[in-house]
């Protein structure tokens, strides 16, 4: 129990250090701290979580691998002009896979027929909004990226928006604390990614580094908190209201 609390305190301290480092543009040091945080968070989840989810475990593991690869990229030989940055592709593909694990985890808990029957209109609206947001956000990086990098960024943004939509549907479906925490975490991830794009490709403002890293830390905090709770069944009266509408 003491080790559990010690790791949690260390994680909170590292979260604060990570936010400060990113805000001061110490990105290689920030990458090291983020990789260490994800490794410790994975250990915390594996050792002290009574009811573990295999998909959430793989989300943490693959995310940790992505941040570790991002850290290693700072100490590799410089990429020549026109060369392929395999670390950029590798880390982003790992992040995409990690978020897909979260999406699959949530969708696999749905009774799909019930969800589509009760929430058809919200789902259609979310799909339209997702397409609009992905196109709009991705276009901000088009001039700064190569064709393959832009395609990867497009897929990345699509997965992030899909995660947010699934989290919102899950909250409407279950209306419990666990789904609310997951939704807040997903919102923070989306905000973090959008601000991060602005930080790297639009505005050279270090204050954005503070903001996007803060959202990122808060997102993983909420993801961990929801992983400690059991999911509830959908509230019958809520689903009945949806069916009547």
pLDDT tens digits along 152-197: 999 999 999 999 999 999 999 988 999 999 999 999 999 999 999 8
Give φ, ψ of 225 to 5 degrees: -60, -40
CA distance 52 to 8: 18
As a whole number of Å, the end-to-end CA separation of the chain is 49
Assigned token pair, 82: 């026109």
In the block, which residue shows the tokens 């604060």? 16
Q: What is the pTM of this model?
A: 0.91
Residues 6+ apart with CB under 8 A from 238: 172, 175
Instruction: Specify the long-range contacts of residues 2-9, CB closer than 8 Å, at least 24 apart.
Output: 4/44, 4/47, 4/48, 7/40, 7/43, 7/44, 8/44
pLDDT string in tens for the chain (245-residue length):
789 999 999 999 999 999 999 999 899 999 999 999 999 999 999 999 988 999 999 999 999 999 999 999 988 887 777 778 889 999 999 999 999 999 999 999 888 888 888 889 999 999 999 999 999 888 888 877 888 889 999 999 999 999 999 999 999 998 899 999 999 999 999 999 999 988 888 877 778 999 999 999 999 999 999 999 987 777 553 444 444 43
Are residues 164 and 141 in contact, defined by beta-carbon separation less than 8 angstroms?
Answer: no
Burial class from Cβ neighbours inside 10 Å (0-12, 13-18, 19+) for residue 62 reads: buried
pLDDT at 239: 45
Are residues 57 and 83 in contact, defined by beta-carbon separation less than 8 angstroms?
Answer: no
């Amino acid at each position: 129990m003491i080790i559990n609390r010690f790791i949690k305190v260390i994680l909170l301290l590292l979260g604060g250090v990570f936010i400060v480092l990113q805000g001061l543009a110490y990105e290689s040091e920030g990458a090291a701290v983020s990789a260490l945080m994800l490794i410790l968070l994975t250990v915390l989840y594996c050792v002290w979580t009574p009811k573990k989810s295999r998909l959430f475990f793989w989300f943490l593991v693959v995310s940790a691998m992505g941040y570790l690869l991002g850290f290693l990229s700072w100490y590799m030989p410089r990429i020549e002009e026109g060369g392929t940055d395999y670390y950029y592709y590798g880390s982003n593909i790992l992040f995409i896979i990690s978020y897909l694990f979260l999406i699959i985890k949530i969708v696999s808990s749905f009774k799909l027929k019930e969800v589509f029957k009760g929430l058809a209109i919200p789902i259609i609206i979310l799909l339209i909004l997702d397409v609009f947001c992905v196109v709009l956000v991705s276009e901000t990086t088009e001039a700064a990226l190569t064709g393959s990098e832009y395609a990867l960024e497009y897929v990345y943004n699509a997965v992030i928006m899909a995660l947010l939509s699934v989290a919102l549907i899950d909250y409407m479906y279950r209306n419990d604390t666990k789904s609310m925490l997951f939704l807040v975490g997903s919102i923070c991830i989306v905000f973090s990614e959008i601000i991060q794009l602005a930080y790297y490709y639009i505005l050279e403002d270090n204050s954005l580094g503070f903001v996007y890293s803060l959202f990122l830390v808060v997102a993983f905090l909420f993801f961990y908190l929801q992983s400690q709770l059991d999911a509830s069944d959908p509230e019958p009266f809520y689903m009945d209201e949806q069916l009547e509408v």
